[in-house]
Amino acid sequence: MILSELHEYLKTHQRAALMDMAHRFDTDPEAIRGMLDKWVSKGRVKKLPNVACDSGCNKCDASHIEVYEWIDPQRQGSA
């Protein structure tokens, strides 16, 4: 997988959990996080604040609720 594939996936879905992307690309979540960090540093992706899982058990893996969002610069200018 290369950065452009991750770019297209996140741009298409707008938001995605780290674990969803890791499953989609059959890649370790840490590797996905590293690639996402490249897009974050370029201002194209942002990590959303962690929210608690709504199951209430507090045992969820953090990567299941770690969500990233694609930032469309054209939409930002019109907001």
Lowest mean pLDDT among 1-5, 17-21, 73-77: 73-77
Buried b (16+ CB within 10 A) or exposed e, 24-59: ebeeebeebbebbeebeeeebbeeeeeeeeeeeeee
The pLDDT of residue 68 is 95
Split into its structural domains, the chain has a count of: 1
Q: How far is CA 48 from CA 10, 53, 57, 68, 76, in A?
A: 13, 14, 21, 6, 16
- How far apart are the C-alpha atoms of 18 and 24, rounded to whole Å? 10
Domain extent at residue 14: 3-78
* CATH value at residue 20: 1.10.10.10
Q: Where are the alpha helices (DSSP H) in the chain?
A: 3-13, 18-25, 29-41, 62-65, 73-78
CB 48 within 8 A of CB 69: yes
* Choice between 53 and 71, residue whose per-residue pLDDT is larger: 71
